[in-house]
Structure 1
Amino acid sequence: MKKALHTKSVNGCNLMTSLSVANEAGFKGVEIVASKLDDYLDQGFTAEDLSQALKEKNLTALSINDICHIESPRPEALEKMLEQAKRYSQVAEIIGCKYIQLVPLVELNDKSWEEILDITSSNVKKICDIGAEHGVSFQLEAVAWSPFRSLKRGMALIEKVGKDNLGMVVDTWHFWAAGETTPEEVAKMDPTLIYNIHFCDGKKGEADTVWDETKLRGYYFGEADIPLKEYSDAIKASGYKNWWSVELVSSKHWEMDAIEVAKRLSDDLGQYM
């Protein structure tokens, strides 16, 4: 098992600086924030340039994060998703990145579960077909405040889509904060369907309030409320033996020394792997 830095953890840095920070802090992999990638490409740099930068810093790109609103029923939203899927899949193929993250949100909150599943699976099938053309797979994140807020519901979508390039990311904060997925369920997962780990601490938001991740997840390991050892033991018990990414979504830490933050995260993550 190897350590990766989700580059959102150092969100104050551009893409190239994020890679330098990851390398300096001892990480061997990175998850690339899509907005940073877009900014990089929009300035005329290429996927080949990024591939060379990753090689020079001895880093593996694990995923591109993310394509959002995958549940949207709006035709213009689907068109945007498919454009992103094509762009990111082309980049992923060139840089040797296996996964692109998919994020369901809340556009269908007024629909029944069956309608939500039908609409979202239709979108995701189209996305997966684009990725398959480039040898790319997709990791689904079960967002805590979305209809897909649990492992059970995420797996229902995977089954409904029926594509072999769709799996789950185990995000300790999302699973724990939603309150519908236990470490015991994680331990029973098929490890071939665990595409990545987002390991982080945090707190829950109050009921009937808008949750601000940048505050609720603004903690180093052991500073907040998630039973991290239970989740760590569960991940290992599943048989998963690949990358673990540390994801610190924290407006406070984004204003701190990025290298110091990343080194602390690397050291702390190593205690749980």
Structure 2
Amino acid sequence: METKPNQLIFHSMASRWNTLAIDIDIARSLGFDGLESSGAKIAAFLDAGFSKTDLRDRLADLCVPGIGFLIDLERQGKRRGDMLREAEELCQLAVSAGARGIEAITGPLDLRAFEPGAARCYPQLYRGLIDLPEEEQTTLTAANLGAVADIAADHGLIVYLEALSWTPLNSMDAQLRVIDRCGRDNVRLVVDFWHAYTAGDTPDRIARLDKNLIYGVHLCDSLPYLGGIPNEAALRDVPTGSGTLDLKSWVDAVKATGYTGWWSCELFCRRQHQDNSYAVARDLKILMERLILDQPDSSQMKNEGTNT
């Protein structure tokens, strides 16, 4: 099915504590093109007694490019089996929602795993592949990504990779090596401005990506990052557009590749999570329209009209 270019997608993380039903209403009532939700919210909707038909009916006129997320993609041993079962479950939820793909992210998620002496101080803490050489990390992660992609392919889905910036293989170059070694046609990349910034990538690097590898974009902001292990909870606690990132330069870098796909407004600002979600989403959409679609700020136009 043909879709219009540069779709503006509401991200469920911008309405973190609301239900799927509220996220859907926000997206539809404010004129977003679609919704990028989470497997957790979709599962909660179904577990509450709503049917898959109810789910599809609620989402009927919205694009659902993907749902998140499969964590700790690189898991090995028994944990690898758990990861593959979770991938199958997430794919089933994606199909139920009419989504086109699933998001896979790298780990470990817990920042304590990267502290000096962490293996001794936290012996039960999941460490992923951080103790292995980069070449072995790449090989094992690519093999897991390939296995997940095969599961997704059975459901007609895309897998879009997002390497968290505090984890191994966090740069664009490292992620592209994983995707290349994976060798699956249904694997893509999501460009997240915050993860790219704190992993050391720049708009110039983004502008050199192959547009055909970019599945989606997470438009988001950051407080100043001064080095060390990026603390997501602290650094992303800022309204989008009020942080340190020159969002226009990041958007223009993506557009320089020729990419015209979907853009999603991921958000981690605690204050806004507790505010009026409709008002927050409205402001995010206005910002996205200005940055991505080159549309003027409607509220500014209204004020200018009043002053003439």
TM-score of Structure 1 vs Structure 2, range by shorter chain: over 0.9
User: What is the CA–CA distance in structure 2 between the aligned matches of 1:33 and 1:67, rounded to whole Å?
Assistant: 10
Instruction: Indicate yes or no: 2:219 matched with 1:199.
Output: yes
Listed as ranges, the matches of 1:1-273 within 5 Å are 1-55=6-60, 58-75=61-78, 77-106=79-108, 107-179=128-200, 181-205=201-225, 207-208=227-228, 211=231, 213-273=232-292
TM-score norm. by structure 1 comes to 0.93
How far off its partner does 1:215 sit?
3.3
User: What is the CA–CA distance in structure 1 between the aligned matches of 2:86 and 2:48, rounded to whole Å?
Assistant: 17
How many percent of aligned residue pairs carry the same amino acid?
31
How far off its partner does 1:214 sit?
3.4
User: What is the CA–CA distance in structure 2 between the aligned matches of 1:151 and 1:215, rounded to whole Å?
Assistant: 23
Structure 2, gaps ≥5 residues long: 1-5, 109-127, 293-308
1:61 partner SS:
coil
User: What is the CA–CA distance in structure 1 between the aligned matches of 2:107 and 2:174, rounded to whole Å?
Assistant: 13
Query: Per-residue displacement from partner, 1:220-246 (whole Å, max 9, x unpaired)?
Result: 333111121111111111010111111
User: What is the CA–CA distance in structure 2 between the aligned matches of 1:42 and 1:78, rounded to whole Å?
Assistant: 26
User: What is the CA–CA distance in structure 1 between the aligned matches of 2:226 and 2:281, rounded to whole Å?
Assistant: 29
How far off its partner does 1:210 sit?
6.5
User: What is the CA–CA distance in structure 2 between the aligned matches of 1:232 and 1:63, rounded to whole Å?
Assistant: 20
Greater relative CO (CA pairs within 8 A, separation 6+): 1
The Cα RMSD (Å) is 1.6
User: What is the CA–CA distance in structure 2 between the aligned matches of 1:202 and 1:92, rounded to whole Å?
Assistant: 29
Query: Per-residue displacement from partner, 1:40-71 (whole Å, max 9, x unpaired)?
Result: 2222333332111011xx31111111000001
- What count of residue pairs does the alignment treat as equivalent? 268
CA contact (8 A) 1:11 1:254 kept: yes
CA contact (8 A) 2:102 2:160 kept: yes
